[in-house]
Amino acid sequence: MSEAIPQVKPMKIMSGCRTTSQLHVGNFWGAVNNWLKLQNDNECYFGVMDLHGLTTAYKSSHEIKNFNRDIFADLVAWGIDTDKNTVFIQSLVPEHIELFMHFANLTPMGWLERVPTWKDAEEEAKASDTHNLGRFMYPVLQAADIALYNGQKVPVGADQVAHLELTREIIRRFNFLYKGKLPEPQALLTETPLVPGLDGRKMSKSYNNGLLLTEDEKTLKKKVNSMLTDTKRLRREDVGNPADCTVFTFHKLYSTDQDLKWVVDGCTTAGIGCGDCKAKLCANIEEKTKIPREKKKELLNNPKALDSIIDQGTEKARLVARKNLNQIKDWMKL
């Protein structure tokens, strides 16, 4: 008797990144890099979530369209396969909003009040004029994003676990109320290194300390040169500690083991200077960025080609979304 070979069933993967600006390196290491690993063996839906972006960026709505295109171009340039997968822009698929409304009705406000991303951000939200209904309901829209494609696994960073928990609660309540069969999605907590800003603090728009995924060569050099080093290593002759250095954090993302050893040995013996160390990092990031940068430029210089990729993605997404929404409305007997 031969033993059955376990069949690994392809899973429905749903994920997205919210449109706030261009993609930065944190987005890549936190999300896109994992999408690349999942995209060949699963049925993947990846959204550029501009409606989520607008919950905080509603005053600069005029910027969103270009950011969407830029993110889309980056995704394609860095290897997201839009033929094999469904890659789309959220606001072009209005079914998200329709399902969101049905979910909003069955979600008690108390559930949202308890979400840490709201609770902890309320003061900041008031100060930045984003203490609004849209931001409050953010996780409900996210639940709709996932359910609309029957998402089973949702690759996200640890900061999204509370949102996923709420998604599951909403879906459980939906299934209970309407005898529905929506799958309860699970967070796929992939290892996502925390990518700091250039100054070692949290990467944030307001600190202006971000590194874009696809910087041009000159800006890349400038930004790497401005990175915070081990503050205790004041002079070239001082030894340093890579563990206390932002440059080293980036080396760990972009450099080979051999280069990492070179940094550790050189830094802890004052064998290399910080300038050498940064030059090496810059070269390693540049090597990884060069081809995608060219590809992205090509796409942005050829708006018709980019439009057509976006249109195809929208069509594919809408087909699935409409079908699932009809099923959902059937369950609700609407």
Q: Does 267 bind ligand SF4 (CB under 6 A)?
A: yes
Size, binding site for ligand SF4 by CB under 6 A: 14
Binding segment toward ligand SF4, per CB under 6 A, in 7-15, 109-117, 157-165, 266-274: 266-274
Distance CA 115, CA 124 (A): 15
Q: Does 77 bind ligand TRP (CB under 6 A)?
A: no
Count of alpha carbons within 13 Å of 204, Cβ hemisphere only?
Answer: 5
From the list ligand SF4, ligand TRP, none, which binds 272 (C-beta under 5 to 8 Å, kind-based)?
Answer: ligand SF4
From the list ligand TRP, ligand SF4, none, which binds 16 (C-beta under 5 to 8 Å, kind-based)?
Answer: ligand TRP
Site for ligand SF4 in 207-236 (CB under 6 A): 229-230, 233
SS3 78: coil
Q: Does 70 bind ligand SF4 (CB under 6 A)?
A: no
Binding segment toward ligand TRP, per CB under 6 A, in 8-16, 58-66, 108-116, 169-177: 8-16
Q: Does 313 bind ligand SF4 (CB under 6 A)?
A: no
Nearer to ligand SF4 by Cβ, of 142 and 229: the residue is 229
Q: Residue 208 contacts by C-beta under 8 Å, 6 or more apart in sequence?
A: none
User: Is 296 exposed, middle or buried (CB count within 10 Å of its CB: 0-12, 13-18, 19+)?
Assistant: buried
The 3-class secondary structure across 27-50, one letter per residue, is: HHHHHHHHHHHHCCCCEEEEEEEH
Distance CA 55, CA 319 (A): 26
Distance CA 134, CA 314 (A): 23
Q: Measured in whole angstroms, how far is the alpha carbon of residue 257 from the centre of its chain? A: 26
Select from 12, 13, 14, 115 the one that contacts ligand TRP (CB under 6 A): 14
Nearer to ligand SF4 by Cβ, of 77 and 282: the residue is 282
Q: Does 198 bind ligand SF4 (CB under 6 A)?
A: no
The 3-class secondary structure across 188-219, one letter per residue, is: EECCCCCCECCCCCECCHHHCCCCECCCCHHH
Residue 141 CB, shortest distance to ligand TRP, in Å, is 7
Residue 170 CB, shortest distance to ligand SF4, in Å, is 46
Query: What are 49's strand-pairing partners?
Result: 18
Select from 21, 24, 43, 52 the one that contacts ligand TRP (CB under 6 A): 52
Number of other residues whose CB lies within 10 A of the CB of residue 118: 18
Residues making contact with ligand SF4 (CB under 6 A): 229-230, 233, 240, 242, 245, 247-248, 263, 267, 272, 274, 277-278
